[in-house]
Structure 1
């Protein structure tokens, strides 16, 4: 394996999710297509070293409760200035949990949610 190619996310409201990931989180749209046979949108977003594939489907089932449901626990984004990112997200009405310290690495991190409650993390990477 050479790395992660993409992470696929299904949103309950495509326009709301697309706005959140592209306009609020700032992930550039690479490609977007409506797939008529599936009544589904697919939007590829550039997440640095991987892509996020944002999908819509008619009446998707809700996500299991968080945070300890079996399956993907959360998606984490690397940032260089955690305080600035928390403030920027707060300016868009996105509430972040209190900042914590990773007990093993000493790095700071926080969690927040996308419009459908998918847990997302900001993880501050600082130079050693």
Structure 2
């Protein structure tokens, strides 16, 4: 059966900008970076502390997301955090807009949203109450 999520794949509009965001701002270590000449495309593998990965792809002329956030398909990517206020303050210090922290009405856990450079909705979800 399923054991967990191995990776999430993201097609970015500006590879250098997204690489900077995920690697330098969010601090995800690079596992591998490959240029695929036959596709004129980069593939960047980034590690998360739990062993899962984010794969960033660059494709020429990839269409933009049709609507935000209720398009069919992936709605958002949520990151588990220990100290949500600390992470929000860090993101804000890097000029990243973050929504006000809310409380999940079912789990009573705190969460908030921000966007990657292409407008992909990302969530911070508190590991603690």
Correspondences of 1:83-102 after superposition (within 5 Å): 83-102=85-104
* 1:110 aligned to which of 85, 107, 112: 112
Aligned to 1:25: 26
**Residues 1:123 and 2:93 are matched in the alignment:** no
The count of residues paired between Structure 1 and Structure 2 equals: 127
**Stretch of structure 1 that moved more, 63-72 or 79-88:** 63-72
Mark the runs of 5 or more structure 2 residues left unpaired by the alignment: none
Deviation at 1:40, TM superposition (A): 0.3
Deviation at 1:48, TM superposition (A): 2.6
What TM-score do you get using the length of structure 2 for normalisation? 0.95
Runs of 4+ in structure 1 off by over 6 angstroms are none
CA RMSD of aligned residues (A): 0.9
Aligned to 2:56: 54
**Hey, what's the Cα distance between the residues in 1 that align with 2:98 and 2:11?**
22
Aligned to 1:79: 81
**Hey, what's the Cα distance between the residues in 2 that align with 1:93 and 1:28?**
21
What TM-score do you get using the length of structure 1 for normalisation? 0.96
Mark the runs of 5 or more structure 1 residues left unpaired by the alignment: none
